[in-house]
Chain A
Amino acid sequence: MEKQHWPLWEIFIRSRQGLSHRHVGSLHAADAEMAIENARDVYTRRQEGVSIWAVPASEITASSPDEKDVLFDPADDKVYRHPTFYDLPDEVKNM
């Protein structure tokens, strides 16, 4: 049996103006136009979106979960990046 693999697309939806697009899942489509049409039918049957991005899954570069520690460690010991690190005198009510 001959196989016709349509490529995989990752779908991102903006649920309303003012919010970012958010990943909702993936689907198969022959091309970008069809990916948008299919995404409309699969992921927005109840007005979940005002805008769709379809990205070929093969074009996404992802960080590797195995390197998670090496990649994110440097942020671990920098508590001074958070406002709670700094003690303020009680007299300062708002800062």
Chain B
Amino acid sequence: MEMDLLQRFEAYVASEKKIEPKDWMPDAYRKTLIRQISQHAHSEIVGMLPEGNWISRAPSLKRKAILMAKVQDEAGHGLYLYSACETLGVQRDDTIADLHSGKAKYSSIFNYPTLTWADIGAVGWLVDGAAIMNQVPLCKCSYGPYARAMVRVCKEESFHQRQGFQIMMNLAQGTAEQKAMAQDALNRWWWPSIMMFGPPDDNSPNSAQSMAWNIKRFSNDELRQKFIDLTVPQAELIGLTIPDPQLKWNEETGHYEHGPIDWKEFKQVIAGHGPCNKERLDARRKAWDEGAWVREAAAAHADKRAAQKANTAAA
């Protein structure tokens, strides 16, 4: 019976049809999605921290307004995703508790610091750029609520990448000092950004199953290659240099070849030893704990109003 259901499920998903919340699904499919969507939501929320760091020091009022809108979007993206995750039968508070306890992960890219204003440019251009590359195929993911959330996210994300590129472009066309600042940010963000696509295909244990279930559409290396091919000419255009001495164009394949990626660093950061892991989690826990009284007060206020309404109705 169970076997029969599983076979039907796999054939159904393979035919590009969507699964909706109350439909039968294998336990492993549900678990994979809960893990992936909650990680994704946590990444949006933790991702607000390195950018929020520059709101008070943005170089002009216009830039401040733009950055605030962007950070607010990230909050929104986190909420779309938490909402999608909840349709799989998990409680929001438990999902958040898993982030705070360290049980759930978030994208390791946000464990790097944003040291200068140029980092805000690099984050938008590279980090959001890589995220878009990952997210566009997710708009066709087999789980309906996740796919729909990704459609909204992708629509909003393209402004993020453009604003980041514009910051880099302006700095690169500015004084020698400004250009050096842009180059320095590119130097620091390049490698972590291309690591965002995850481990190489021959070392990515969950990929095959996710591909079979139409959760994942392209392999990590395919997406990484696509990102590099698109980004290198953009860097050249604004006169910045990709910090990879072995990077070269391959006429035959029509792709760039890149130097070796330091996966040891990637693993270190995921394991909690990146420059800002502790700071990020501390900030999230602090926000949650210090917001407790607000949540309680709002609940008490709602109870009081409901009681008043009931009284008036009875009178």
Contacts and interface: CB of A to CB of B under 8 A. Distances in A.
B295 A6 contact: yes
Interface in B74-117: 76, 79-80, 83-84, 86-87, 91-93, 97
Nearest to B93: A3
B76 A42 contact: yes
A82 interface: no
Interface string B280-300: 000000000000100110110
Given A3-B93, A4-B299, A6-B298, A65 B79 contact: no
Contact of B156 (A8, A31, A41, A46): A46
Nearest to A68: B23
Contacts of B149: 25
B158 interface: no
Give the interface size bracket for A toward B. Answer: 20 to 34
Given A3-B93, A5-B93, A6-B295, A25 B83 contact: yes
A66 B8 CA distance: 14
B83 A64 contact: no
B86 A26 contact: yes
Contacts of A27: 79, 83
A52 to B, nearest CB: 15
Contacts of A41: 72, 76
A31 B79 contact: no
Contact of B302 (A1, A30, A43, A65): A30
B76 A45 contact: yes
A64 B22 contact: yes
A30 B303 CA distance: 9
Given A34-B302, A62-B22, A4 B295 contact: yes
B20 interface: yes
A28 interface: yes
B310 interface: no
A13 B80 CA distance: 15
B267 interface: no
Given A4-B292, A30-B298, A31-B305, 12 more contacts: A5-B93, A6-B298, A26-B83, A28-B92, A30-B299, A31-B298, A34-B298, A42-B76, A42-B79, A45-B72, A46-B156, A62-B22
